[in-house]
């Protein structure tokens, strides 16, 4: 068997399209954790994140025969696909789920109060993120949840670096306004994190 473990993503994708039986396994083990992580951080819902991750990977398999190695990085392409799939789901979720509902679900969980508070904070952030305009939400998530650089985000979103800076700045301002009302509820007034 050919050692594919060090092959670049694009080369593996071409090998997959040419019928190599091992390329998909190597690509999946390499890319799926990143894809699932991005979806989970954006959606804060494991089941939904797994659905998004599976859908993103299906799109990758389907695009493989037409992939041109010199056009884009596979990881960049996947970031874009996952961001778009998550944004669609966040849009549908808007207004349907509130912090109270999550609190009720977690009330039945005997975990420590601190862990519960952490979950509620993260959920509050994702919930607020879902209220932002799509492009702002994407830029903020890629910058502050995925830790990507502005040039990387510019490539993923197909916009200029300046536009990325504007989107993230506006997005953060909006998030602060949205979260300000919940500061006490999230334990930030008596918590010196």
Partner 1 sequence: MTQPDDQLLASLFDEARSENVEPSDDLLTRVLADADECQPKASSVSAAKASFWDRLLSGVGGWPALSGVTAAGVAGLWIGLTPPDVVDDWVANAMGNTTSVSFVDDFAGFDEVTLDG
- The answer to whether 52 touches 43, Cβ cutoff 8 Å, is yes
| Cα 117 → chain centroid | 22
Figure out which of the listed residues 5, 8, 25, 114 binds partner 1, where binding follows CB under 8 A.
Answer: 25
Kindly compute the dihedral angle of the four CA atoms of residues 82, 87, 88, 94, in this order, to the nearest 10 degrees.
150
Selected range binding partner 1 among 22-30, 74-82, 88-96, 154-162, rule: CB under 8 A: 22-30
Q: x/- binding map, residues 32-61, to partner 1, per CB under 8 A?
A: xx--xx--xx--x----xx--xx--xx--x
Figure out which of the listed residues 75, 76, 84, 118 binds partner 1, where binding follows CB under 8 A.
Answer: 118
Kindly compute the dihedral angle of the four CA atoms of residues 159, 90, 170, 180, in this order, to the nearest 10 degrees.
-160
Figure out which of the listed residues 12, 43, 82, 124 binds partner 1, where binding follows CB under 8 A.
Answer: 124
Confirm or reject binding of residue 126 to partner 1 (CB under 8 A).
Answer: yes
**Structure tokens that stand for 46 in this block:** 């494991």
| Residue 174: φ, ψ to 5° | -65, -40
Figure out which of the listed residues 2, 19, 70, 71 binds partner 1, where binding follows CB under 8 A.
Answer: 19
Figure out which of the listed residues 84, 89, 179, 185 binds partner 1, where binding follows CB under 8 A.
Answer: 179
Looking at the Cβ atoms of 61 and 158, the one nearer to partner 1 is 61
- The answer to whether 13 touches 74, Cβ cutoff 8 Å, is yes
Give first-to-last CA distance, the chain, whole Å.
51
d(CA 181, CA 158): 34
Residues contributing to the site for partner 1 (CB under 8 A): 16-19, 24-25, 27-29, 32-33, 36-37, 40-41, 44, 49-50, 53-54, 57-58, 61-62, 64-65, 118, 121-122, 124-126, 144-145, 147, 172-173, 175-176, 179-180, 183, 188, 193
């Amino acid at each position: 068997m050919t050692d594919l473990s060090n092959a670049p993503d694009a080369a593996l994708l071409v090998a997959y399209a040419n019928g190599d039986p091992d390329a998909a396994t190597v690509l999946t083990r390499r890319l799926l954790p990143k894809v699932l992580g991005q979806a989970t951080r954006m959606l804060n819902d494991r089941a939904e994140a797994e659905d998004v991750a599976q859908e993103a990977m299906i799109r990758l398999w389907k695009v493989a025969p037409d992939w041109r190695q010199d056009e884009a990085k596979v990881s960049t392409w996947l970031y874009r696909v996952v961001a778009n799939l998550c944004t669609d789901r966040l849009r549908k979720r808007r207004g349907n789920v509130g912090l109270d509902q999550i609190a009720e679900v977690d009330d039945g969980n005997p975990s420590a109060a601190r862990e519960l508070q952490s979950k509620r904070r993260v959920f509050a952030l994702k919930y607020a993120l879902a209220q932002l305009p799509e492009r702002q939400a994407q830029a903020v998530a890629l910058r502050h949840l995925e830790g990507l650089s502005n040039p990387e985000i510019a490539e993923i979103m197909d916009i200029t670096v300046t536009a990325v800076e504007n989107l993230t700045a506006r997005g953060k301002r909006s998030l602060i306004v949205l979260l300000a009302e919940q500061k006490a509820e999230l334990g930030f007034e008596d918590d010196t994190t």
